[in-house]
Amino acid sequence: MALAGAPVMLALFVLFPRFSPLWGIPSDALAGRSGLSSTMTVGHFARLALDEGIALRVKFDGAPPPAGSLYFRGPVLSHFDGRTWTPRGGSDGDGFETALTPGPADLQLLGDPVRYEVTLEPSNRPWLLTLDVAGKPPQLPGDQRARMTADMQWLTYRPVTELLRYRAESHLRFRYGLLGWDQRPRRDFSADLRLPPAYNPRTVALAEQLRQTVGTDPQALVQAALQRLRTGGYEYTLEPGSAGQHTADEFWFDTKAGFCEHISSAFVVLLRAAGVPARVVTGFQGGELNGIDGYWVVRNADAHAWTEVWYPTQGWVRVDPTGAVSPGRIGQFQRLRAPDGVVAGAIGTLSPTLLVQLRSVWDAVNNRWNQWVLNYTQGRQLDLLRSLGFDNPSWQDLGKLIAYLLTAVALAGAAWARWDRSQHDPWLRQLARVRRRLADAGIDAPPQAPPRTLLHGVAASALPTELRQPLTDWLLAFERLRYAPAGSHAGRSLATLQRDFQRLPWPRRRP
């Protein structure tokens, strides 16, 4: 029965109109999976490294970019209160307040674009994660639209509460920030130079020392800070200890250890104290290629924080200070992981690659389900109709197509039933009806009983005389007509016998 109903189920799944918002996955069940936030508190970002949940999947049209270029841009944070970084203009914690300013007027895209498709997991936030940097709006399904902020981040006009698939193209080489939004040279960097007073005095002193050593050139100051990270004994770790009031001082002079948010925050504080405009950018860096389906899987554990520095001759330039402390984190995706449990450790001992292979298979199965089932939306239905020749398809066309399909199935079923009936002996079917009627009347009529045996049962029964004699004659006629030689039927046929059987004075059945 399940196999017989499978074609109907498949047809209804493909063609039944999806009426938004009645059709879809409950938003509450899927919202908030992504651990990325619109704020960054020093000391709280490291917990994302323990979250192996998937944030997005990426399918590149051609060869993927170099490993060190896989930066997926998220919120840009400029305001710092000593512990927490927030976007300029304030934040309510969800990122919905991000300024609706148009994209930068001085964006210059260099080189050939990288084209790809993103399957974004629900985050309950309006962020569209793209490779840094996407100069064109991502192609969203249906009537959804995207907008770019002044900080080069793409947003939707409503939070992403269900699986979202879109196409985008990015340029790995770009330049922006040399001009203001009014096409005049930008000189107001107060928001990107501001530091809270009375915080991190030792870092401020270090910045003054660097200025006296290498001068005021921004690129020289950046290289001096990176060199200190490379040679100063700094460590990339998930457990740098609790952060106090002076987070940058503690990193540069005390612990000399931290996760990416410690490193990027302290790096920006140092540069701002030295007079160089800088800010923190959060998002994801890296990923892993699933060899089964060819998708790059980016997990919450790939969440990352880097910096952007403004150079007078280049504009905003990405600088990742974590790469100076741990080069393997950027080029080889060597993420920090929590220790394996007992079962995972035992499996890893027997086969180091078994867990990776099992996870790749599971991710590929989930991705296939997402692409073909969960992401089969009304837009994809209408695209199917267009491919079938409909110029301007609508849900009414879907209804008509379902009606035509069900009519065709019904006609095919009727034809099959007629053919099936023709493949069975009609005499045996009529004899089976006689047995059922006799059994209802209380006469023993086993399935193997021929007409003569049934005749004896009728003769010994308590049926009324007006039924017993006609039924006896009918059974004798049936036997003669079924087994007599051809040409001796005296004009009678099975159809005549069937009509005579229906006219027999059977007693009414009890309800």
- Nearest Cα neighbor of 137 from 107, 178, 166 is 166
Same domain, yes or no: 433 and 300: no
Write down the catalytic residue from 151, 249, 320, 363. 320
Examine the fold and report which residue of 408, 423, 438 is the final residue of a domain before the chain moves on. 423
Q: Is residue 507 part of a domain?
A: no
Least confident of 201-210, 247-256, 330-339: 330-339
The tens digit of pLDDT for each residue in 363-397 reads: 677 666 666 666 666 666 777 777 777 777 777 77
Write down the catalytic residue from 79, 132, 249, 260. 260
pLDDT at site 426? 81
Domains identified in the chain, total number: 3
Same domain, yes or no: 14 and 162: no
Look at residue 190 and tell me whether its pLDDT is greater than 60: yes
The tens digit of pLDDT for each residue in 413-436 reads: 888 888 877 667 888 888 888 888
Same domain, yes or no: 145 and 35: yes
Same domain, yes or no: 61 and 116: yes
pLDDT at site 67? 81
Question: 255-261 long-range contacts, Cβ below 8 Å, gap at least 24?
Answer: 256/232, 258/234, 259/45, 259/46, 259/49, 259/336, 260/45, 260/236, 260/304, 260/305, 260/306, 260/322, 260/329, 261/40, 261/41, 261/42, 261/43, 261/44, 261/45, 261/46, 261/305
Same domain, yes or no: 149 and 273: yes
Asked if 456 is an active-site residue, the reply is no
Q: Is residue 122 part of a domain?
A: yes
The tens digit of pLDDT for each residue in 28-46 reads: 333 334 457 888 888 766 6
Asked if 489 is an active-site residue, the reply is no
Same domain, yes or no: 82 and 219: yes
Look at residue 456 and tell me whether its pLDDT is greater than 50: yes
The tens digit of pLDDT for each residue in 344-354 reads: 555 556 566 66
Look at residue 101 and tell me whether its pLDDT is greater than 70: no
Examine the fold and report which residue of 362, 388, 423 is the final residue of a domain before the chain moves on. 423
Look at residue 94 and tell me whether its pLDDT is greater than 80: no
Examine the fold and report which residue of 423, 453, 488 is the final residue of a domain before the chain moves on. 423
Q: What is the mean pLDDT of residues 466-490?
A: 80
The pLDDT confidence band at residue 6, using thresholds 50, 70 and 90, is confident
pLDDT at site 32? 38
Q: Is residue 315 part of a domain?
A: yes
pLDDT at site 343? 52
Q: Is residue 511 part of a domain?
A: no
Predicted TM-score of the model (pTM)? 0.65
Strand 173-175 with 164-170, pairing: unpaired
Q: Is residue 362 part of a domain?
A: no
Q: How far apart are CA 87 and CA 77, in angstroms?
A: 4
Same domain, yes or no: 45 and 127: yes
pLDDT at site 221? 95
Same domain, yes or no: 404 and 332: no
pLDDT at site 33? 43
The pLDDT confidence band at residue 91, using thresholds 50, 70 and 90, is very low
The tens digit of pLDDT for each residue in 116-169 reads: 999 898 888 899 999 988 988 999 987 788 998 888 899 998 888 888 889 999
Asked if 262 is an active-site residue, the reply is no
Look at residue 316 and tell me whether its pLDDT is greater than 50: yes
Same domain, yes or no: 216 and 260: yes
Question: Residue 417's domain spans which residues?
Answer: 1-18+377-423
Q: How far apart are CA 334 and CA 288, in angstroms?
A: 11
CB neighbour class for 94 (10 Å; exposed up to 12, middle 13-18, buried from 19): middle
pLDDT at site 502? 87
Q: Is residue 207 part of a domain?
A: yes
Same domain, yes or no: 32 and 167: yes
Q: Is residue 330 part of a domain?
A: yes
Same domain, yes or no: 440 and 406: no
The tens digit of pLDDT for each residue in 52-71 reads: 788 899 999 988 898 888 99
Same domain, yes or no: 381 and 434: no
Q: Is residue 243 part of a domain?
A: yes
